[in-house]
């Protein structure tokens, strides 16, 4: 949500996607420390989970007519 306090439209969307990706990778790396799995595997898996969740959320929003307000 932080980018939306400082930007609107495309700039805020891009910043949100980048920060969300960084957050997902950070969670994956942290998870790797606890599970003793390779950090690249855990970070990639967590990033893919986030991408799928975002895609499903976007698709549902499109189906019900949601959008970004100007």
Q: What is the pTM of this model?
A: 0.78
Q: Which contacts of 26-33 are long-range, i.e. CB under 8 A and separated by 24 or more positions?
A: none
- For the chain, what are the domain ranges? 21-65
What is the pLDDT at residue 38?
A: 95
Kindly report, residue by residue over 18-43, the tens digit of the pLDDT.
999 999 999 999 999 999 999 999 99
Contact 20, 32 (CB under 8 A): no
Q: Categorize the per-residue pLDDT at 70 as very low, low, confident or very high, splitting at 50, 70 and 90.
A: low
Using a pLDDT cut of 70, give the percent of the chain over it: 94
């Amino acid at each position: 949500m932080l980018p939306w306090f400082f930007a609107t439209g495309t700039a805020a969307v891009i910043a949100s996607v980048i920060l969300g990706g960084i957050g997902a990778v950070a969670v994956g790396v942290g998870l790797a420390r606890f599970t003793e799995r390779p950090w690249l595997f855990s970070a990639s898996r967590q990033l893919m989970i986030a991408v799928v969740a975002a895609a499903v959320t976007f698709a549902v929003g499109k189906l019900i007519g949601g959008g970004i307000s100007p």
